[in-house]
Amino acid sequence: MKQLIIFDPEKCCGCKRCEKICSWVHDQVFSKARARVRTIKWETEGVYLPLSCFQCETPFCMEVCPVGAIDKDEMGVVIIDEERCVNCRLCLQVCPFGMIDFNPVTRQVVKCDMCKELGYKPQCVEECPAEALRLAPLDERAGLLKRRAAMETLRKQREMVLDKTTMD
Partner 1 sequence: MYGWAGTILTIDLSKEQIIKEPLDMATAEKFLGPDGIGLKLLWERVPAGTPPLDPANIICFGSGPLTGTFCPNSGKMSSVFKSPTTGLIGVGAAGGFFGPELKEAGYDLLVLMGKAKKPVWIWIDDDTVEIRDAAHMWGKTAWEAIDIIQEEVGDVPTITIGPAGENQMFNAHALIMRSRSIGGTGAGAVMGSKNVKAIGVRGTKGVQVYRPDEFMKKCKEAKDKIINNPVYASFARYGTPGWTPTLITQGVMPTRNFQEGIFPEGEEFLDPETPCKEIFVKSDACESCVIHCGHWCEVRSGPYKGTKTEGVEYYAEYMFGPYMDCADWGFIVKASVECNSLGIGFGSAGMIAWLMELYQRGMISKEDVDGLEPTWGNQEVILELLRKMAYREGVGDILAQGWEKAAEKFGGAEFQPIITRLASTECPRARMDVALSHLTSVRGGDHNKSLPYFAWVCSPEYIRKNWPEWPKETADIYSPIGKPEIVDWTEDWKCVIDSLTCCYWSTSVLQAGGNSPADYAELLTYATGVEYDEEKLMEVGRRIAVLERAFNVREGWGRDVYQMSRMFIDKAFPRGPQAGVKADMKVINKMVDKFLERKGFDAKTGYPRKETLEQLGLDFAIKQLKKQGRIIE
| Binding-site ranges for partner 1 (CB under 8 A) | 10-11, 13-17, 20-21, 23-24, 27-34, 41, 43-46, 104-105, 129-130
We find the least distance from the C-beta atom of residue 146 to partner 1, in angstroms, to be: 22
139 with 74: CB under 8 angstroms?
Answer: no
Q: How far is the CB of 23 from partner 1 (least distance, A)?
A: 6
Strands 70-72, 78-80: pairing is antiparallel
CA distance 138 to 143: 10
Name the minimum Å distance from CB 121 to partner 1: 14
Whose Cβ is closer to partner 1: residue 4's or residue 115's?
Answer: 115
Using a 10 angstrom Cβ sphere, with 0-12 exposed, 13-18 middle and 19 or more buried, the burial of residue 29 is exposed
